[in-house]
Structure formats: C-alpha cells, structure tokens
Structure 1
Amino acid sequence: MINLKGLGVAMVTPFNADMSIDFESLKKLTHYLIDNGVHYLVVQGTTGESPVLSEQEKLAVLDTVIKENAGRLPIVYGIGGNNTQQVAKQLAEFDVPGVDAILSVSPYYSKPTQEGIFQHFKTLAANSKLPIILYNVPGRTSSNMLPETTLRLAKTCENIIGIKEACGDLNQVMHLIKDKPMDFYIISGDDDLALPFINIGGDGVISVIGNGLPKAFSNMINAALNNDIITARKFHYQCFPLIYHLFSEGNPAGIKEVLKYYNITETTVRLPLMNVSATTKGKIVEILNNL
C-alpha cells in the first residue's frame, strides 16, 4: 500500500526561454523538494502544465523525476481526460517502473451525470495496473463528483485508493471522511484549506505552494497530522498570505515567480498561460522578502 499521508507536491514543469523543457531546473526542483521534507511527488498534474505538453514530453519529464528521485519518495503520475476509452487504453499500456500511483481527474467539459462519472472511473480502474487517486476539481471540470459517487467507487473498485478533493466545501469533505473505508485517502487539493482539512480527518494535501515553500508547508502538514495545532497554525499563517497571489493570475504562473525568487527555475509558461503582471509579481516578492 502506497503511503500518501502528508505533503504531496504537484510539480511544475520548468521551461527555457524558447519554451523547451528545462531539464536541469527540473532536476534541481526534484532535489529541492526531496531535501526539504515533502512526502511524495506528483508529476504532470495541471500545475505541470500537462495540457500543453506532448505525450513524449510528459514521459521525458517523468523519466527525469524518476531518475533524480532514485526511489526515495513515492511518485504519482497524472493520466486523465474526458475520453474514457482513450484514457483506459493509456492506463492499460502504461508500464513505467518507479511510478506508484495514477492521479486521474474527473471528466471535464462533457459535464457527465454522477452515473457517468462512476462508470468512467470504474472503466479506468478495470484497465489500470496501478492504484488510482481520483481528482475532483469542479472549478476546472464544471461538474462536482458528489460524496456518494466517490464512496461508491471506493467500495466497488479495489484499486481506487483515494481522492484529491478540491471542491472547496468542507461540508462535502466531512461526508466523505465520515463514511469512507478505513484505508481510503482523503487528500486536500486546496493549499488554503489543507490545515482545516486535516483537522477534520483528512490525510494531507497535494500542494502547489509546496513547490516553493516545501519546508514551511511540510512543517505545517506534519504538525497538523501530529495534532500540534499551535505549531500547525503558525506555519499556516506564515504561508497563507502568499497562497492567494499564487492563483490570482493563473497556476502555475504564480508559483513559478516563487521558484525564480529562490533560483530554482525561470518563470516561463506556455500559452495560453501568461506570466503574472508586474503588480502581482511585486506582491509575491514583497511577501517572500518578509518571510
């Protein structure tokens, strides 16, 4: 059983000025995260700009992270979409040593019914050699996977082992935690809600801010999981002012400014994303200076 408690980081994909992948910065980022206490790595989620990478580029990024990680941390890889048969085929053919689980987003754009979402993931589970973490992010998919659907999948499909829940509704999360199987992971998809999420029984977070502030955020997550609320709250409010600005003009443009500040990567993003404005950059730098 893969251990997904704690801080997972949805890694950015660094780019050179010519928009090619900056593999040296990717190596640097991998070591930066491992050396600063994160618990697992998530490759090619939305923060990795997966929609604008070719399949060959995605696998090249994954291969680099696997080699630099050298088996130290679990690795979760993103494979998802709204073409059920195509995603199922990808999963059936996916065989990369060093990957421990798959993160798969609820079907976007199509706005399926709850039964459609259930049948989608049931099909993926039947075709995947690896355990699957569901990803519910209504703000991006335009549909909300309800707790009843998630719990039905958890109890029906043995290799669906958890959910990254980014609904932004702690009431919905509590319904999940109350009725979930004992070994089913409930993982926050929102950095700003990670602390309350754990306080009501969640298992941790798959984080964006963890790219830039892995030590402070892992300290917060560890303290929260150990029921040290005073310490957890201190680190939460240390990181909290930055979180809004990371997402105010699109992810991962904001977090790449943080990584540039710490000399980990450049700020380049691929269209249709743009770099943050000078105003937002100034606010990010001001917060980091105060940290």
Structure 2
Amino acid sequence: MLDASAKGVYVIAPTPFHEDGRVDERSIDTMTDFFLGAGATGITVLGMMGEAPKLDAEEALAVAARVIERASVPVVVGVSAPGFAAMRTLTRAVMDKGAAGVMIAPPSSLKTDDQIVGYYANAAEAIGADVPFVIQDYPLSTGIVMTPGVIRRIVADNPGAVMLKHEDWPGLEKISTLRGFQADGSMRPISILCGNGGMFLDFETERGADGAMTGYAFPDMLADVVRLSAAGERDAAHDLFDAHLPYMRYEQQPGAGLAVRKYVLMRRGIIGSAALRKPGGGVSAKTRGEVDYLLARLARHDARAGDLRGA
C-alpha cells in the first residue's frame, strides 16, 4: 500500500491507442516493462495526461488492471470524477485489483480554502478510510490554488492522505514550507513527488521533494537525476538535467505536449503508435522536424536520445 515513505520516480503513464482509437493492450505491456527497466519506483495511470476522460468506465478499469497485473512496483490510479459515486466505484474496483492507492484532484468549482478542505474530507469518506490517496496540486489545470496551510489541514484531517503530487508553478518555496511544517512538528510526514513534466526536478529534490510523479519521454533520465541528487552528486545531476532542458521545454507545451511525448515514446519503441484518442490531434510534419532536431542535439550528451527507430 502507498505510504509516506514513497520516493523515486512514479511515471505518469499515457494510455496507448491504435490509430483507429482502440486501446493498444500490447503497448501497455511494453510501456510497463520499459518503465520498470528505466528505474521507476512506481507507476501512475489514468492521470490527466493519460486521457482518462476519453475512456469509458470499463476501459479505464481494464487499463489500470493490466498495468497493475504486470508491474512489480506500486501503481497509483487517478480516480478524479465529477461526483463521489463514480470516484468510489473506480477506487473500490482498482483497489480490489491490487492498486497501491489513488490520486484525487480538486474540481474547479471550489472557491475557498474551507471548500477545498471539505472536499477532500468528503472524498476520503467516499473512497474509504483505509485507502491511501495522493493530493493532486495542479493549479495550472484545475484553477485551484492550495496554500501550504490548506495542504497541512487536509493532511491533518485525513490519515489516508500520504502523498502530495506537487505541480504548483512556481513551487519551490511551497516545498520548503511544507518540509518546514514537518520539521516543526505541525504536519506529519508525507511523500512529496513533483510533476510539471519534470521541469524543476533538479531543484525540487534539493528543496526536499522525494522525487517525481510525472510523464516525460525519458523517465530513465528523471530516475537518474533523483538517484544522483540523493547520492550528493549535485553537478552530475544538474549536468544531465540541463542537457534535456531544450527538449523538455518543448514537450511541456500546454495542449501539445502529450502528442509530442507520445511521438518520442513511439520513436523509442516504447509504444506502437503516437495516436491520441479523439478529440485530440497528432504532431505535424513541422513539429516532427523540430522534435527530431532537438533529439539529435540531445543525443550528443545522452545516447538514449539517439537510440530511436524510424517514425
């Protein structure tokens, strides 16, 4: 079961599709195997970058169950939903399949701190007090800003809250504040894993984050950065991270990043197709050319970017 000691890289898995929109089960297997070989300490499915809203309930459970069955690491499942009934149903189903915990994002309708705290109390009641959950803090997508004080209240009120997926931007000071709460005894320890495509992982680990929970076409690089940082090899961690920044920035474009990421995952042989399920487009010839150029430059510093198959 997921707990506050979680660390490393929990890769946010995309959902692979065939060109006709069907879920690509074989690619789920090859992707899961790759993540394990890349050093993932966990996998998260049905997140915002997993196109979860485009799946029906049966598909969502099938995707989660397939990853859970194949993975030898904890699997977290995104269960955010407009209503608590759907959240409860999916949570119970994936926990029965062997999920380590679930992830919950606040809905955009919340307006006050008290409403945010109350929402998580209701969500925790809906999924069950015995289910560990991740607080997803992603204001860029949800529009909900959770201050460190609000997060501390959520953690205090809900024993099941064991991890924060930290995606505030800028957010380095938030990590320091939360670790300060832990140090002064005003908040129990929780795991903090960071998102935003890994854009700030180099300094997030130095501020006290336990690692990353994000999607990136090179999760093996993220695992290396977390490992090097934990070993005190600061310059080596930053040198590797800095080499990836030009491509990482390109992949992090809102609205276009998932298509780019899937294209590179396909080029790496991790999934069979770069297809997004409709509505959602692919990458243009111009975009492919730019990405290929960035990868060629990256390959000068990291050979993994040159180990590609044809598009």
- Relative to the length of structure 2, the TM-score reads 0.86
Would you say how many aligned residue pairs link Structure 1 and Structure 2? 286
Q: Which residue of 1 aligns with 2:70?
A: 68
CA–CA separation in structure 1 for the residues paired with 2:92 and 2:99: 14
Partner of residue 9, structure 1: 11
Contact conserved, 1:217 with 1:235, CA < 8 A, in 2?
no
Check the 8 A contact 2:155/2:188 in 1, yes or no.
Answer: no
Q: Alignment partner for residue 258 of structure 2, among 247, 252, 259?
A: 252
Task: Return the alpha-carbon distance in structure 2 between the equivalents of residues 225 and 182 of structure 1.
Answer: 22
Whole-angstrom distance in 1 between the partners of 2:63 and 2:86: 21
- Give the C-alpha shift of residue 92 in structure 1: 5.4
Q: CA deviation at 1:231?
A: 1.5
1:107 CA drift (Å): 1.5
Q: State the shift of 1:11 in Å.
A: 0.2
TM-score (norm 1): 0.92
- What is the aligned partner in structure 2 of residue 171 from structure 1? 173
Deviation at 1:103, TM superposition (A): 1.0
Q: Which amino acid aligns with 1:217?
A: L
Cα RMSD of the aligned pairs, angstroms, is 1.8
- Is 1:121 the counterpart of 2:120 in the alignment? yes
Counterparts of 1:148-227 in structure 2, within 5 Å, are: 148-169=149-170, 170-180=172-182, 181-190=187-196, 191-209=198-216, 212-227=217-232
Are 1:40 and 2:42 an aligned pair? yes
The 1:121/1:85 distance shift into structure 2, 3 A limit, reads: farther
Contact 1:11 1:44 survives alignment (8 Å): yes
Amino acid at match of 1:17: E
Q: What is the Cα deviation at residue 172 of structure 1?
A: 2.5
2:138 alignment partner AA = V
* Amino acid in the other structure paired with 2:237: A
Q: CA deviation at 1:43?
A: 0.8
Question: How far apart are residue 279 of structure 1 and its match?
Answer: 2.5
2:227 is paired with a residue whose SS is helix
The structure 1 residue matched to 2:243, chosen from 238, 241, 246, is 238
Matched residue, 1:56: 58
The whole-number CA distance in structure 1 between the counterparts of 2:230 and 2:49 is 25
- Within the candidate set 274, 278, 281, 2:281 is matched to 274
Cα distance in structure 1, aligned partners of 2:228 and 2:120: 34
Does the Cα contact within 8 Å between 1:47 and 1:251 map onto a contact in 2?
A: no
Greater mean alpha carbon deviation, residues 89-98 or residues 159-168: 89-98
**Do the aligned partners of 2:80 and 2:103 also contact (CA within 8 Å) in 1?**
yes
Poorly superposed stretches of 4+, deviation over 4 Å: none
SS in 1 for 2:36: helix
Post-superposition offset of 1:81: 2.9
